[in-house]
Each structure stands twice: as C-alpha cells, then as structure tokens.
Amino acid sequence: MAKAGAGGMTNQKALSVLAEIERKLAGHDQVTGGVIPVKQQVQQLIEEATDLRNLSQGYVLGWIPHW
C-alpha cells in the first residue's frame, strides 16, 4: 500500500470504489468503455440505487433499528 498523509496508509479498496464512482459520474459505460448520454446515465444510476440486490447489502444482518 502507498503512504498516505499524516503517516497513515491508503485503503486500496476505498480508492478503487472512488475511482469507479468518478467513472460513473463522468458518464463512462462499464461495458463499452464509451461515454453515455446524461439521461441514460441518470436512469442507470437510479436503477442501481433502487436494485434490491444492492439495497440488501446495507442489511447484512437483517433489519436492526438503532435507537
């Protein structure tokens, strides 16, 4: 791992996720590698954000309300 500021180490997984987010926000299609129109990009992001498989990742142990 590369050195980070203040003597810490960078988190390679976090950097990978951030790079993927940057590619998505720039409109780069994962499949073709090309740039997709904004309207199509927004539709894909909405579909990913509301996909039950993606949403379920936030509830690994099931629904546990925190007070």
pLDDT at res. 15: 93
Split into its structural domains, the chain has a count of 1
pTM passes above 0.75: no
Q: Domain range for residue 16?
A: 5-58
Answer yes or no: is 67 within a domain.
Answer: no
Residue 67: pLDDT over 60: no
Answer yes or no: is 65 within a domain.
Answer: no
User: Within 13 Å of residue 49, how many CA atoms lie on the same side as its CB?
Assistant: 8
**CA-derived radius of gyration, the chain:** 16
Answer yes or no: is 63 within a domain.
Answer: no
Q: How far apart are CA 35 and CA 7, in angstroms?
A: 38
Average pLDDT over residues 37-62: 84
Supply the mean pLDDT for the chain.
80
Q: 65: which 2 tokens?
A: 């309300």
Using alpha carbons, list the distances in angstroms from residue 12 to 3, 4, 15, 17.
Answer: 11, 11, 5, 9
Answer yes or no: is 66 within a domain.
Answer: no
The phi, psi pair for 61, rounded to 5°, reads -100, 10
